[in-house]
A and B are shown apart, each in its own frame.
Chain A
Amino acid sequence: MASSPLAAVRRSYGHAMSHPPRTDRDRRALWRSPLRGPWLTSVFGLILLFGIPVLFVTGLLSYAAYNPDLSPVNDKTPDKGLLGFYLFSWPTDPSWLYRVTQGVHVTLGVVLVPVLLAKLWSVIPKLFAWPPVRSLGHALERLSLLLLVGGGLFEFATGVLNVQLDYVFPGSFYPLHFYGAWIFMAALVVHVALRIPLMVRTLRSRELRAELRTRTADTRPEPPDETGLVSPRPAAPTMSRRGALAMVGTGSFALLVVTAGQSIGGPLRTSALLAPHGREPGRGPNGFQINKTTVAVGIRARDIGPDWRLVVRGAAGHETVLTRERLLRLEHHGAALPIACVEGWSTPDQRWEGVRLADLAALAGHADRPPRVLVESVQRHGSFRSVVLSEHQVRDPRSLLALRVNGADLSPDHGYPARVIVPGAPGVHNTKWVGRLTFGGTV
């Protein structure tokens, strides 16, 4: 009873450890779980087969939401070439569009982590298959599998690190996550095409409902087959397949509970116990989520003090310089719009008040059919201190240069003296501390 862990591990490896494993069967016998088998793998595979395409599509949508084709300042991946084939002008309706697509992207990605781990656990004996390469075709497939596993883990890792501002990956997040996704998908399509007949056959071979009624004591290994996943020397079951599925499902559910609140907001925000935006930064009109405070981007008091001016440039060298007082005297409009970040968190609608971007375009000589606008912040460092908004975004009557929010002046952390707010746009396109608007400008 008081045997040491090491001795037990040695014992459970048994004869396979006493001399180096020689045959493929010996190697697979190192993995002893009686639950491993094509059916369990197929169940995890099926969940990922639905989940990962959703991640891919919402990821591509987020890429489009930045309108990278509009201007080099919007484009973090200028050499994308054919991979940007599908890009379209990001709509302003519905105003919660990016909130939903990006909230789903990040939350679902987090929730799928246990399923991904379980899937990889279930196929680990294949890694040690012997001989490692049987033929040219087999070698190519194994290379593809390396890209699949490496690509999948790379995508999940970069995503999870980025939303926690832990930029340890080797380069800018945007190209890494974007090009990495294409490599992952290229390998995934092959994997699905090669395995889906087997998956369908396997899922039909056992009834899910019967499996969910089977207790640990009645759990038997799956019959051995050509997949090589079933252990040739299975240990006694300590958990049923029902138990394994429930454990993985509970892991996903736990992650959902401690994460989703940051994208739903309201009273549910505090349920996001481990997510970065699970608390409100304060109370009152400006007490909603902040992406970068003045401290983070080096905004000094004098940058946004009484000397602050807004420069509005337009057609044929047209230039107007406005103080905040003059801006306050222009016609004001309201719009209830959310802030939604690429990191997945978002706020419910806030009541913004300010001057319509279209009215500022008119002031700059673009009375009808206002063009795109280059928005520049007084912020001196940090990415996204300038952005180009499309003409479609400028023309939406809810697109504002906001001066007030929820009935109060903007706080410095929310972009005082003036910030842009555009319906449906990613958070970083709602530039704070705006210093200059150039209508018709690109860079």
Chain B
Amino acid sequence: MRFLGRSRVGLRRLDGESPLRLVLLLCSFALTGYAGVRLLSGDWFGIALWFVGAAVLHDLVLLPLYALADRAVAAVLPAPARWINHVRVPAFLSGVLLLVWFPLILGRQERRYENATGLSADVFWPRWLLITAVLFGASALWLVIRAAIRGWRRRPGARGGAPEAASAASADSADSAGERKPPAGPAGPAGPSRS
């Protein structure tokens, strides 16, 4: 409620528990109700399940899964800070392609697709695999090139003086630590004292 006292501009009143905010929410629910009855007029349980299930599946399954996968990959890589994005980026790109086009890639409706379009349905799986291979291949190649450049710069007497060598060294120490403390974290890593 303290936001109310501070508000000067009309829109600001939408912060906190203002009456305007409540009215807005109720108007929105009225429209939701109007469309909702019509949406649920068929298989209401199945539709409600899809509606809520979509949010639950994404927030409590898909997102935690890929977040944990990301941490797991970082844990098995020899030098996470330097390597992780070479796995993360191609995996993400290949993943979103699969997420959007999985019915075709997995051939879930092969016959219906072939009957509808007059096209063969068996091209999508190899195409996606090939795209994925190219993405990971390009990423690995890039990593090798970066490593080569780094190795060349680190040779004693090579050009590229002290500052670069120092920064490379600090990146390496971060890699081996894996748990490098943030340079300017907003609070200590331990957080508030607990019992």
- Tell me the complex Cα distance, A151–B24, Å: 18
Contacts of A369 in B (CB 8 A): none
A-B contact number at CB 8 A: 268
Asked if B35 contacts A140 (CB within 8 A), the reply is: no
Closest CB-CB distance, B186 to chain A, in whole Å? 4
Closest CB-CB distance, B33 to chain A, in whole Å? 9
Q: Interface digits, A229-272 against B, CB 8 Å rule (1 contact, 0 not)?
A: 01011111111000100010011001100100000000000000
Tell me the B162-195 residues at the A interface (CB within 8 Å).
Answer: 167, 170-171, 174, 178-187, 189-192, 194
Q: Interface digits, A107-143 against B, CB 8 Å rule (1 contact, 0 not)?
A: 0001001100100110010010000000101101101
- Tell me the complex Cα distance, A238–B113, Å: 42
Q: Binding site of A, secondary structure by majority: helix, strand, loop or mixed?
A: helix
Q: Binding site of B, secondary structure by majority: helix, strand, loop or mixed?
A: helix
Asked if A182 contacts B116 (CB within 8 A), the reply is: no
Contacts of A146 in B (CB 8 A): 52, 55
- Tell me the complex Cα distance, A413–B81, Å: 56
Point out the residue from A81, A113, A165, A291 that lies within 8 Å of B99, measured CB to CB: A113
Query: A301: CB under 8 A from chain B?
Result: no
Q: How large is the interface on A (under 10, 10 to 19, 20 to 34, 35 or more residues)?
A: 35 or more
- Tell me the complex Cα distance, A243–B84, Å: 12
Query: B143: CB under 8 A from chain A?
Result: no
Q: Interface digits, B64-76 against A, CB 8 Å rule (1 contact, 0 not)?
A: 0001100111111
- Tell me the complex Cα distance, A95–B126, Å: 37
Query: B147: CB under 8 A from chain A?
Result: no
Asked if A255 contacts B100 (CB within 8 A), the reply is: yes
Q: Chain B: how many interface residues by the 8 Å CB criterion?
A: 90
Q: Knowing A5-B75, A165-B113, A236-B179, say if A171 contacts B31 (CB, 8 Å).
A: no
Asked if B35 contacts A276 (CB within 8 A), the reply is: no
Q: Knowing A137-B17, A220-B183, say if A189 contacts B28 (CB, 8 Å).
A: yes
- Tell me the complex Cα distance, A261–B166, Å: 48
Contacts of A235 in B (CB 8 A): 179, 182
- Interface positions of B (Cβ within 8 A of A): 11-12, 14-15, 17, 21-22, 24-25, 28-29, 31-32, 34-36, 38-39, 41-43, 46-47, 49-52, 54-55, 58-59, 63, 67-68, 71-76, 78, 80-81, 84-85, 88-89, 92-93, 96-97, 99-101, 103-105, 108-109, 112-113, 115-119, 123-124, 127-128, 131, 167, 170-171, 174, 178-187, 189-192, 194
- Interchain residue pairs with CB less than 8 A apart (7): A124-B63, A164-B113, A179-B36, A180-B51, A235-B182, A274-B105, A279-B119
- Interface positions of A (Cβ within 8 A of B): 1, 3-9, 11-12, 15, 22-23, 25-26, 29, 31, 34, 77, 79-83, 110, 113-114, 117, 120-121, 124, 127, 135, 137-138, 140-141, 143-144, 146-147, 149-151, 153-154, 157, 160-161, 164-166, 169-172, 175-176, 179-180, 182-183, 186-187, 189-190, 193-194, 196-197, 217, 220-221, 223-224, 230, 232-239, 243, 247, 250-251, 254-255, 258, 273-277, 279, 281-282, 289-293, 295-296, 413
Q: Return the 3 tightest CB-CB contacts between A and B, nearest first.
A: A8-B75, A170-B46, A5-B72
